[in-house]
Structure 1
Amino acid sequence: MQMSEIVVATADIGTTDQNQTATADARLAAIVDSSFDAIISKDLNSIVTSWNLAAERMFGYSAEEAIGRSIVMLIPDHLKSEEIEIISRVRAGERVASYETTRKRKDGVLISVSLTVSPIKNANGEIVGASKIARDISAAKESERKIRLLMREVNHRVKNQFAVILSMVRETSKRSNDPHEFEELIRARIMALSRSHDLLVTSEWAGASLFDLIQEHLKPFGREEQILLSGPVLTLQSNAVQNLGMAFHELGTNSSKYGALGSEDGRVEVTWTIGSGTHDAGASGGREFELLWNETSTPRPDDRRDETTRKGFGTVVLQRVAPQSLGGSAVLERSAGHLRWQLAAPLASIIVPQPGAEPDDDAALGFGI
C-alpha cells in the first residue's frame, strides 16, 4: 500500500468518527429537549449552564433567563441550605437520587419536585458540575393528600356506622324478647342504613337528594300511589342522609304495619320547606329546615298508636336520635288512623353548602312516588 493511500484512509476514518460523534450529540440533544422532565446542568458554583424546554415549562424561566444565573433562584428561602448539601455530595462524587423537595417557579408558586442529581466529569475524569433531572410531582402529592384525607374520613364514617349499629342492637334488644323478631328487626334496620350508605357511595359522598332518600326508604313498602312528596330540591349532607334515612325507615315500617301503607285508603304526605326558623343555624343565617310527615288511614283494630307512652326504638329515633343529631327538635303525634311527625332543624345541618346558591322555596314541586 502506498503512503498516499494510508493518509487518505486515515482521513476517512477521522471524518467518520467526527460524523458519528456529531450524530450522537444531536440525538442526545433531541432527547434532552423532548424530555417531559426538566434537565438542567450547573457548575460547582451552582451556576446554570444548560436548561431544556421542560425546565422552561416547569419553572417559567426561558433558557436565556436561566443560563448564567444561580440555581438558588429556584429554591425557597427556608430550603436554601439544600443546595450546599447537594453540591457537597456532588463534589464527593455522590449521586443524589429521588430526592423529594419543594421548588419555586418564576411566578412565585411553590411546586413539589423529585430530583436526581449526578456529577458531571470532564475528559480527565474530574468533576466539573452536576446534571439535575427534576420531575413535577405536585399532582401526585395532591392525590396522596386527598387519599389520606379520604382514609381519615372513611375511618370516621366506619366508626360512626359501628356506633349506630351498636345502638340499634342495644335498643332493639331492650324491646324484643323473641330472638326471631329481634333478628328480623335488626336486619331490616341495618338494611335501611345500607340503603342510605348506597346513595352516598353513588354520589361519591357528595350528598344525596331528599327526594331520592325518601323514595329509596319507602319503595320496599310498595303503595307508591298513596305517597305524595312536596318540597324544594335539596342535596343533603351525609349526616342528614344517615339520620333522616333511619327516620323514614321507622316511619315507613310503622305505617306498613299499623297505618296508611298497610291499608287501601291510606295516604302519606311528606312536605318540607325552608323558613326563617328559631334554631341557631350558624352559617345559614338563621334559616331553618322544616319537614312534616302526615299520614291518615281508616283506624284498624290493632292500631295502638294512640298509646302515647309507647316507646319503641322507632319512637326513640323519631323523637330523640334524628332531631338531636341534626341540632333540631321533633314532635311526634299519634292517634287512631293518624300519625304526624314534624321535624325542625338548622338548614346548615341539613344541606350540602353551595356558595352563592340557595334553595328556592318558590321552586317547590310535588312528586308522587
Structure 2
Amino acid sequence: MHALPVAVYTTDKQGRITFFNEAAADLWGHRPIIGQDQWCGSWKLRHLDGRAMAHDECPMAIALLEERDVLWGQAIAERADGQLIPFSAHPVLLRDEAGEVVGAINTLLDLRTQTMADEARTRLAAIVESSMDAIVSKDINGIITSWNDAAEHLFGYMPAEAIGRPVTILIPPGHLDEEVSIITRIRAGERVPSYETVRMRKDGTLIPVSLTVSPIRDGIGRIIGASKIARDISASKESERRIRLLMREVNHRVKNQYSVIISMIRETSKLTSTPEAFLAQVRERITALSESHDLLVNADWRGATVGELVRAQLKAFAVQSRVSMTGPAVVLQPNAVQYLGIAFHELATNSAKYGALSRHGGHVEIEWDVTFATDGAGTFRLIWRELDGPVVDAIARRGFGTVVLKRVAPEALSGNGRLEFDKQGIIWTLEAPLRSVEMSLSDIVAEEG
C-alpha cells in the first residue's frame, strides 16, 4: 500500500490512525501521528458547501461509529497552507474471524482532476451554446447527436427535430458525396480543414457555409463521431458579389471617361493651331470633367442635381451671382452628369471670353423642366440663355464647344441640341428623354444594393 498512487490509510476500532501511505500524506498536506490522530489525517475538514466539518463527522468516523461501509462520501481537506482539496472517501470496515469490527481501511480519491474536467466540460458547453457558429456533432454513422442554438437559427430545425436524424437532412442532393468523403476521412482520424460548400435549411433554401469537421474520440482514443462547425458566409458572399459588380461598374465608367477624353482630345486637336493652345484647352476640359466626377464620388455615384452641376462648372469663373437657375429637382444620372458637365463648361468658357459673362451687366439664365406625354414618357428640357451680352457667333463657326453642344452631349443623352444666336447672346436648348437624364429609383436601389 505504500507504493499505491491512491491515498490509503487504516484506523483501529476507535478511529485512531494506524497506517497511511505517502499518497495520503500528499493529499492531506499533513502527516498525522500514528496511534494518536483520529478519524482522518487532514489538518482540517470542510463540507462541500464550505462549512467546517469536525473530524468525527467525516466518512471514516461515520463508518466506524455506525459500523457500516460508506461509499462515495465526499468532503474537502484543508491544508495548513490554505489549499482546499476535494476528495471522495470509501471507508470499508475491517473485521476479525468472529465478525467483530476491529478497524477500517479508507481510500481517498482526489477529485481535483474530476472537478477540473467538469469545469472544462461546463466551459466548453457554454462556449458551444453561445457560439455564433452552428456546432453539430454526429456519431460515426452520421446520426446527429448534439445541436446548439446557432444550428437551430442557421438551419431552422429545433434540437428535437434534428437530434437522432441523419446529418444528410442538411445536405443538398448534389452534395451528398461530400458526406461519404468526410466520414471516410474522420474514420481515418483526419481533421477536415475549412472549406466552402452549400447546406440546406429546413424550408429547402440553400445557404453558403464554411465547414470544418473534426473527429471526436472517447476516453481511450477511439473515434466515435465528428463535430462540425458551420459558419454562415452569406454576407461575405454577398459582399464578394457586390465588389465584383462594383468593379465591373467602375470598369464601365472608367471606359466611358476614356471615351470622353479621347473624343475631347481628338476634336481639340482638329481645332487648335499650336501645341500650347492644345495643351491649355485639354487641361481645362479634363479639369471640368474632374469637377463632375468629384460630384459623383462625393454622392457615392448616385448622381447630382442640375444646380449642383452648374455651380461646380461655374465656380472657376466666380460668376455665380450673375447666373440664375430655375427648375424642378432632377437628379442626373452619372452619364448625364459627365456630358452635361462638359456642355456647361464649354458654355461658361465661351460666355466668359466672348459672351454675356465677359461684360459688366451681362448674366445667364438657366431653366429646365420635365413634361410627360399621354403614354407617361417624360421629356427633359433645358435652356441656357445669355442676356445683355454682345452678339456672338464665333462659337457657331468652329470649335470643340460647338461639337459638344450640337452633337456630343445631346447624342450621349439620346436627345437633340439647338444652338441659337440672339442680339443679347447665345441660347442653347437641350431636349432628351427623361430616362436618359434622370437617376431613377431603380437605379438608386441598384447603386445601394
Normalising by the residue count of structure 1, what TM-score does the alignment of the two structures yield?
Answer: 0.88
Partner of 1:338: 425
Indicate yes or no: 2:273 matched with 1:177: yes
Please give the residue correspondences for 1:257-268 in structure 2 after superposition, counting only pairs within 5 Å. 257-268=353-364
> Does the 8 Å CA contact 2:139/2:226 hold for their aligned counterparts?
yes
Separation in structure 2 between the aligned mates of residue 47 and residue 12 of structure 1, nearest angstrom: 40
Separation in structure 1 between the aligned mates of residue 176 and residue 218 of structure 2, nearest angstrom: 27
> Does the 8 Å CA contact 1:246/1:317 hold for their aligned counterparts?
yes
Q: Write the letter of the residue equivalent to 1:289.
A: F
Report how many residues are paired. 348
2:186 pairs, out of 68, 90, 114, with: 90
> Does the 8 Å CA contact 1:304/1:336 hold for their aligned counterparts?
no
1:239 pairs, out of 324, 332, 335, with: 335
Separation in structure 2 between the aligned mates of residue 107 and residue 353 of structure 1, nearest angstrom: 35
Which residues of structure 1 form unaligned runs of 5+?
279-283, 358-369
1:13 counterpart SS class: strand
Separation in structure 1 between the aligned mates of residue 211 and residue 291 of structure 2, nearest angstrom: 48
Q: Write the letter of the residue equivalent to 1:351.
A: E
1:80 counterpart SS class: helix
2:400 pairs, out of 304, 313, 328, with: 313
The structure with the greater share of residues assigned to strand is 2
Q: What is the RMSD computed on CA atoms of the aligned residues?
A: 2.3
Partner of 1:203: 299
Indicate yes or no: 2:323 matched with 1:227: yes
Partner of 2:143: 47
Indicate yes or no: 2:212 matched with 1:116: yes
2:111 counterpart SS class: helix
Normalising by the residue count of structure 2, what TM-score does the alignment of the two structures yield?
Answer: 0.73
Separation in structure 2 between the aligned mates of residue 288 and residue 76 of structure 1, nearest angstrom: 51
Partner of 2:284: 188
Separation in structure 2 between the aligned mates of residue 12 and residue 296 of structure 1, nearest angstrom: 108
Larger radius of gyration: 2
1:294 pairs, out of 379, 385, 390, with: 385
Q: CA deviation at 1:142?
A: 0.9
Partner of 1:349: 436
Q: CA deviation at 1:3?
A: 4.1
> Does the 8 Å CA contact 2:381/2:429 hold for their aligned counterparts?
yes
Please give the residue correspondences for 1:2-13 in structure 2 after superposition, counting only pairs within 5 Å. 3-4=9-10, 5-6=20-21, 11-13=107-109
Separation in structure 2 between the aligned mates of residue 277 and residue 187 of structure 1, nearest angstrom: 42
1:12 counterpart SS class: strand
Q: Percent identity?
A: 53
Query: After alignment, is 239-248 or 158-167 more displaced?
Result: 158-167
Change (3 A) 1:225 1:15: closer
Q: CA deviation at 1:109?
A: 3.4
Q: Write the letter of the residue equivalent to 2:382.
A: L
> Does the 8 Å CA contact 2:357/2:389 hold for their aligned counterparts?
no
Q: CA deviation at 1:164?
A: 1.3
Partner of 2:236: 140
Separation in structure 2 between the aligned mates of residue 81 and residue 291 of structure 1, nearest angstrom: 64
2:109 counterpart SS class: helix
Deviations 1:76-102 (A, max 9, x none): 233233222222222232221111012
Q: CA deviation at 1:33?
A: 1.5
Indicate yes or no: 2:257 matched with 1:161: yes
Q: Write the letter of the residue equivalent to 1:111.
A: I
Partner of 2:412: 325
Q: CA deviation at 1:214?
A: 1.0
2:108 counterpart SS class: helix
> Does the 8 Å CA contact 2:356/2:390 hold for their aligned counterparts?
no
Partner of 1:72: 168
Deviations 1:24-78 (A, max 9, x none): 2112211212222211101122211011122122222222222112222222233
Q: CA deviation at 1:212?
A: 0.4
Separation in structure 1 between the aligned mates of residue 221 and residue 328 of structure 2, nearest angstrom: 77
> Does the 8 Å CA contact 1:90/1:119 hold for their aligned counterparts?
yes
Indicate yes or no: 2:343 matched with 1:252: no
Q: CA deviation at 1:336?
A: 4.2
Partner of 2:84: none
Q: CA deviation at 1:151?
A: 1.1
